C-alpha cells in the first residue's frame, strides 16, 4: 500500500486511466448522438443553439475537468512544473468551453423570451461555474504565479484538492439535473413509455455518474498519489524543516 514513493507507475493505474478515458469519450460521443439523433443537431443561429449547451458542458465541465484532475496521476514522472501547467491549461480549456455553453443557453433564453435562472439545475450550474472560476484564479495565484510563500502553498494545497474534487462532482450532478430537465421538457408523458430517447438519455446519465466515480477512484487511491520528487522536496515541500532551521531535503 505504501508504494507511493516509488518513481515507477503502479501496474494497474494505466488500465484504470484507459477505462476512465473510454467512459469519458463514450460520454461525449453519446451526448453528440443524443443531440444529433433526437434533438435535431447543433447550430448557433437557430433554435438548435440550445443544443450547444449540453455538449459544451459535457466536454468542458465533465470530461476536460475530470481529465485535468487526473494529470498528476498520469504524468507521474514529468517535472512538477510541466504537470502543473498542463493541469492549469486543461482547466482553462474547460472554463472557456463551459463559457460558450453558458452563453448558448442565456442567448437562447433571451431570443425565446424564456425566464433565466429559476430551476435547481440553473442555480447549481451558476454555483459550479462561479466556484470553478474562483478555484482556478486562487489555484493560479498560489501555485503557478511565482511568489506565493511555501507555507501558504502547503496550507492551501489540501483545500485546493478537496474543492477541486467537489466542484467536479457538483458539475457531474448538475449535468444529471440538466439531462433530467431536458428529458421531462421534451418527452413529457412519453418518457414513461420507455421511448428510445428516454432510454438512451438514462444510459447517458449512468455513464456520467460512472465517469465521475472512475475519476474519483483514480484520484483518491492512496498508493496512486504522485510521488514527490527530489527537486520538489528540496524546493518547496520541506517548509517545516526550513523554518525550523534544518537543511532542506532531510527527513
Positions in the binding site for its own copies (CB under 8 A): 1, 114-115, 118-121, 123-124, 127, 158, 162, 166, 169-170, 172-173, 176-177, 179-181, 183-185, 191-194, 198, 201-202, 205-206, 209, 213, 216-217, 220-222
Nearer to its own copies, 100 or 126 (CB): 126
Nearer to its own copies, 104 or 182 (CB): 182
CA distances from 55 to 44, 62, 103, 107 (A): 13, 10, 13, 16
Distance CA 144, CA 115 (A): 40
Instruction: Tell me the longest C-alpha to C-alpha distance in the chain.
Output: 72
Nearer to its own copies, 69 or 201 (CB): 201
Shortest spacing between CB 186 and its own copies, in angstroms: 11
**Phi then psi dihedrals of residue 89, to 5 deg:** -65, -45
79: nearest Cα among 215, 226, 195, 239: 226
* Cβ atoms within 10 Å of 92's Cβ, excluding its own: 13
Tell me the closest approach of the beta carbon of residue 96 to its own copies, in angstroms.
Answer: 25
Q: Please report how close the Cβ of residue 180 comes to its own copies at its closest, in angstroms.
A: 5
Give the dihedral sign, CA 230/235/240/241.
Answer: positive
d(CA 211, CA 72): 18
Contact 185, 54 (CB under 8 A): no
Q: Which is nearer to its own copies, 93 or 228 (CB)?
A: 228
**Least CB distance to its own copies at residue 93 (A):** 25
Residue placing its CB nearer to its own copies in the complex, 33 or 209 = 209
**Nearest distance from residue 86's CB to its own copies, in Å?**
24
Amino acid at each position: 500500500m505504501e508504494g507511493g514513493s516509488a518513481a515507477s507507475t503502479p501496474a494497474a493505474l494505466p488500465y484504470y486511466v484507459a477505462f476512465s478515458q473510454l467512459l469519458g469519450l463514450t460520454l461525449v460521443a453519446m451526448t453528440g448522438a443524443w443531440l444529433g439523433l433526437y434533438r435535431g443537431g447543433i447550430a448557433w443561429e437557430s433554435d438548435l443553439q440550445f443544443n450547444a449547451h449540453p455538449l459544451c458542458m459535457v466536454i468542458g465541465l465533465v470530461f476536460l475537468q475530470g481529465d485535468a484532475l487526473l494529470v498528476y496521476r498520469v504524468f507521474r514522472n514529468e517535472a512538477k512544473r510541466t504537470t502543473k501547467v498542463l493541469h492549469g491549461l486543461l482547466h482553462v480549456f474547460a472554463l472557456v468551453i463551459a463559457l460558450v455553453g453558458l452563453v448558448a443557453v442565456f442567448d437562447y433564453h433571451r431570443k425565446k423570451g424564456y425566464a433565466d435562472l429559476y430551476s435547481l439545475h440553473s442555480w447549481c450550474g451558476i454555483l459550479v461555474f462561479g466556484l470553478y472560476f474562483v478555484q482556478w484564479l486562487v489555484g493560479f495565484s498560489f501555485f503557478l504565479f511565482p511568489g506565493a510563500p511555501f507555507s501558504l502553498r502547503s496550507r492551501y494545497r489540501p483545500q485546493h484538492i478537496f474543492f477541486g474534487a467537489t466542484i467536479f462532482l457538483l458539475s457531474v450532478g448538475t449535468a444529471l439535473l440538466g439531462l433530467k430537465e431536458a428529458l421531462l421538457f421534451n418527452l413529457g408523458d412519453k418518457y414513461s413509455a420507455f421511448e428510445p430517447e428516454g432510454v438512451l438519455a438514462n444510459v447517458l446519465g449512468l455513464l456520467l455518474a460512472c465517469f465521475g466515480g472512475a475519476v474519483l477512484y483514480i484520484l483518491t487511491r492512496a498508493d496512486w498519489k504522485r510521488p514527490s520528487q527530489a527537486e520538489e522536496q528540496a524546493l518547496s515541500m520541506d517548509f517545516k524543516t526550513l523554518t525550523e532551521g534544518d537543511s532542506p531535503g532531510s527527513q
